[in-house]
Structure 1
Amino acid sequence: MRSFTGWTCLSNPSTNHLASLASAWLLWAMMATSLLAQPPLHVDGRRGPYHDHGRHGGPSGEFDLVEPTGAVTGRISLRRDQLIYRHGDGRQVVYRRNGRYDTPDGQFLGYYNTLLARVLKFPRSGFGHFLYADLDDFTPFPQASYRLLHPVGAGPIGGPIVGPWAGGYMTHDISVYGGGLGLPWLAPAPAFGWGMNAGPLGPMPFAPFPLNPLPLSPIPLNPGPVPIDTRRVALPDLPPAKIRFTNSSQRDVNVTLSDARQAGLSKTFRLGPAETHDMKLRRDAGHEWVETYELLSPDGQWITREVRHSIQPQPRYEIVVHEWRVQSVAIDRTARGNNRIEDINMQGKGIGRFLLPPGPELTDQTIDVFQSARAMQNQGTVTPLISDEQIQEQFRPSDRVSPFERALLQQQRAIQQAQQGQR
């Protein structure tokens, strides 16, 4: 196992009982350090991050930006209500403290830059990765930085740091083996961020660093929650709603039902005065936005956590209504035609369009398409409907029209019959 504490365990089988008792006393004296030791936030008498939250609730301090190679390539300065991000080339960006961008668990403090439309979330511990998100993206989502943060001047391990500013790093137990009483000797850890593989490798001679043969290995700092995946999950559909469409107009109407989930596909049907048309419409239950994070637990194990956000369903169905009206009547005025009506051309005048309620708001009901469309007062958004030859064939003088139009056609027929009777 690894030791991240100020001491690590070495066995010495030749130790006498007096030395073993001394080792036991030192072991129990340092047990708290062994179990709770954390990297210090300041050394050499320097002050760490100032956490007396002021008017805007922001801490202050200086923090280095460390590349994976260990090189320091930037610095972040906290000035109560400001975060100054200094790049290695001298450029700097100033972020303002904004509590609305804090994480719900309080582990990250939110800062915002208006010009860049970027949010930077600073880890409250002062260690690990910071998060950033561009609000002008189509789907802004916090991403973890590839560089690590640590306070300026952080040096060798000097003792345990207890409390919310301890950094939240890995804690390690002590493996007791070897020695006359089964107790280990203690030796100081080499440096900040490094430990020794002190597994039960058998009896090994005591020697101070760097002469002992135990291999050294780096211990990574806890990066905090790391986003690894986001996805949108559709919830199961709700039971279909039973809808009855009616027409309160004195003319025939043409109804077009469009489904946003099936682009380019629509259903069209015709309703005469006082006629009805029944349909069953599928209903959405909405979606869930699932965010997956990886966390490093206190015992050094990577665990996965999911955060789910509900997304309400959006309107799915749109109704467009046209009203059929006589556009023109073709009459044969020739000598042989005897003023006979040859054809009647119909045109669908736009009445309006409206959306059906989304998801669970769409219940079993009766909808008057003519009155609903006219109430929207958006007839200018509806293109007139020109019937094709097949539809034109349906609209003959015997078809349903308004009383005025019907009277006009009946009068025209009467004139034709009178002329034929005189002959």
Structure 2
Amino acid sequence: MKMSINVVWSLLAFTLLRVPVSAQQAFDLVEPTGEVTAIARIEGGQISVQSRAGQRAVFTRDPSFDSLGGEFVGYYSPKIDLALRFPRSGVGVMQTAGLADARPRFINTRRAVRLRRGQIVSPLTFAPPIFFPGQLFPPHRSHLRHQIHHGQHLHPWQWYGLGLDPFMQGYAGWWRRPQSILVDHVVVPNPPLPPARLKLVNDGRREVQVGIRDLQDSARSRTIRIQPNSSSDVELIRDTGGKRIEQFRVMNPYGSIRTHEVVTEYEPPVRYEFVIHEWAMQSVAIDRTGKSPNVIEDINFQGRGIGRFFLPPGPLLQSGIIAVHSTALRQQNGGTVPPLVPQEDLPEHRGRTLEDTVLEAQRAAQRRAAGN
């Protein structure tokens, strides 16, 4: 019994008293093309990465980010909230994990590590890996709360080595940190909704063209022309959102395996945009010979942009009536809607007065022709 206690205390003293060597070692960070774009220097428990462009990042040694097998040595930069794993051999790719991500996980970097010429990796550059089966001292109440927190952040945290745990207000000891692997994921849509039935009313004084843009399926986009004081009925498919279900295989330090399920709800995105044009007069053909029964022979119109607006997503889109002209006008974004003909083709006259006069003359001529 006394020998076992001495062994434990010896291991504890060795772990707490071990310090990194002061000798500096330099490594090249090499792109897949073979170009060296940065230099990493390890000294005093820190890695300093200096790029050719002059950017510099400093990472501090953090054994809680070491890989399970000990082949990667963990570092952390609180300034950029990034964890870095450096290959213990001094050769190969690194791994990084952004801890600000919702689901942080280590991924291989594009650049690889290469020892600079004339150097060798000292066995004292990185402290030797140390494994303990679990926590040596009994947990207190905050440990129990902390266990739940770890279940929500499975990816970057390891149980290998010592680590500073901010939730424990000090050293976490040899706290068990699970290793997790994503083994399966599936997206389950919510039950379908019936289509929304909309009555599109043209409450303007001219004919309008309604462009219905389907942002999810462009093949379903279409246009509708509506006369003044008229309407048109449309049906629009509604998205329902759903759930993303992920299955993780989690191993504890003793080798036992359990399954952890993470369910994430996602809302349906905005699907439909209405783009409204108003048909305004562009040019008029007038018979000045007096031979035609109609003074006004032809009128050309152009589609002037009135405005655009989005419809609510999913179940928020309800059946009802939309006054397309006034709704588009209230958006005050007509400048974002390009005309259906070049703007330079518009006449320079005061359009509304001229148009009203021409239309009235054309209607009068048609009444006279009908009377004859």
Kindly provide the CA deviation profile for residues 68-99 of structure 1, in whole angstroms up to 9, marking residues without a partner as x: xxxxxx98988xxxxx4479xxxx953589xx
Superposition pairs for residues 279-290 of structure 1, below 5 Å?
A: 279-290=234-245
Equivalent residues of 1:326, 1:405 under 8 A apart: no
The alignment partner of 1:349 has SS state of strand
Report the AA paired with residue 94 of structure 1.
V
**1:307, distance to aligned residue in structure 2 (A):** 1.5
The Cα shift of 1:280 comes to 2.1
Using the size of structure 1 for normalisation, the TM-score is 0.48
- The one-letter code matched in structure 2 to 1:43 is L
| Alignment deviations for residues 254-290 of structure 1 (CA, whole Å, 9 cap, x no partner) | 1110101112541111222222222221111224444
Unaligned runs of 5+ in 2: 21-40, 50-55, 62-73, 86-93, 110-125, 148-175, 343-354
What amino acid maps onto 2:106 in structure 1? Q
Q: Which runs of 5+ in 1 are unaligned?
A: 1-25, 27-32, 34-38, 50-60, 63-73, 79-83, 98-107, 123-129, 169-221, 388-401
The total of aligned residue pairs comes to: 264
After TM superposition, list the pairs within 5 Å mapping 1:397-412 onto structure 2.
405-411=358-364
Q: CA deviation at 1:110?
A: 8.1
Residue 97 of structure 2 is aligned with which of 124, 133, 137? Answer: 133
Structure possessing the higher relative contact order (Cα contacts under 8 Å, 6 or more residues apart): 1
2:222 pairs with one of 267, 282, 294: 267
CA separation of 1:325 and 1:136: change in aligned 2, threshold 3 A: farther
What does residue 94 of structure 1 align with?
Answer: 58
Question: Counting helix residues as a fraction of each chain, which structure ranks higher?
Answer: 2
Structure 2 residue 270 is matched with structure 1 residue 315 = yes
2:267 paired with 1:303: no
Q: 1:328 to 1:144 in 2, by over 3 A?
A: closer
Structure 1 residue 240 displacement after superposition = 2.0
Between the aligned partners of 1:157 and 1:143, the Cα distance in structure 2 is 23
Describe the SS at the equivalent of 1:372.
Answer: helix
Q: CA deviation at 1:132?
A: 3.8
Cα deviation per residue 1:334-366 (whole Å; 9 max; x = unaligned)? 364466432221211110110001112112221
Counterpart of 2:281? 326
**Aligned twin of 2:11:** 43
Partner SS, residue 329 of structure 1 = strand
CA distance in 2, matches of 1:341, 1:159: 94
Alpha-carbon separation, structure 1, partners of 2:177 and 2:221 = 51
Residues 155, 307 of structure 1: CA spacing in aligned structure 2 closer, same or farther, 3 A cutoff? closer
Task: Report the counterpart of residue 224 of structure 1 in structure 2.
Answer: 178
CA gap of 1:131–1:344, structure 2 versus 1, over 3 A, is: same
Summarize the Cα distance change of 1:358–1:112 in structure 2 as closer, same or farther, 3 Å threshold: farther
In the alignment, the residues of structure 2 paired with residue 323 and residue 369 of structure 1 have an alpha-carbon distance, to the nearest angstrom, of 11
Query: Is the counterpart of residue 120 in structure 1 residue 83 in structure 2?
Result: yes
CA–CA distance in 2 between the matches of 1:131 and 1:85?
14
Partner of 2:105: 142
Task: Report the CA distance between 1:383 and its aligned residue.
Answer: 1.5
C-alpha distance 40-342 of structure 1, shift in aligned 2 (>3 A): farther
Which residue of the partner structure matches residue 187 of structure 2? Answer: 233
Q: How big is the shift at 1:291?
A: 4.0
The alpha-carbon deviation at position 327 of structure 1 amounts to 1.7
State the Cα distance separating 1:136 from its structure 2 match.
Answer: 11
- The CA deviation at 1:143 is 2.3
Q: Is the 8 A contact 1:40 1:161 kept in 2?
A: no
TM-score w.r.t. length of structure 2: 0.54
Q: Deviation per CA, 1:219-243: give whole Å up to 9, x if none.
A: xxx8723333575726234332222
1:96–1:113: 8 Å Cα contact kept in structure 2? no
- Determine helix, strand or coil for the equivalent of 1:385: coil
What aligned pairs does 1:5-404 form with structure 2 within 5 A after superposition?
Answer: 43=11, 45-46=13-14, 48=16, 84-85=46-47, 93-95=57-59, 112-114=78-80, 119-120=82-83, 132-134=96-98, 141-143=104-106, 152=127, 161-163=136-138, 224-228=178-182, 233=187, 235-236=189-190, 237-263=192-218, 265-297=220-252, 300-334=255-289, 336-337=291-292, 340-386=295-341
Amino acid aligned to 1:270: R
CA RMSD of aligned residues (A): 5.1
- State whether residues 288 and 308 of structure 1, in contact with CA within 8 Å, keep that contact through their aligned partners in structure 2: yes
- Please report how far the alpha carbon of residue 247 of structure 1 lies from its aligned counterpart in structure 2 after TM superposition: 1.4
Question: How far apart, CA to CA, are the structure 2 residues paired with 1:40 and 1:411?
Answer: 108
For 1:409, give the aligned amino acid. Answer: Q
Q: How much identity, in percent, do the aligned residues show?
A: 30
**Aligned letter for 2:218?**
A
Q: Please say if residues 83 and 99 of structure 2, whose CA atoms lie closer than 8 Å, have aligned partners that are also in contact.
A: no
Helix, strand or coil at the partner of 1:383: coil
Corresponding letter in the other structure for 1:45:
A
Post-superposition CA distance 1:116-142 (Å, at most 9, x none)? xx62289xxxxxxx98435899x9852
Report the Cα distance in structure 2 between the residues aligned to 1:245 and 1:327, rounded to whole angstroms. 26
Question: CA 1:327–1:224 in structure 2 vs 1: closer, same or farther (change >3 Å)?
Answer: same
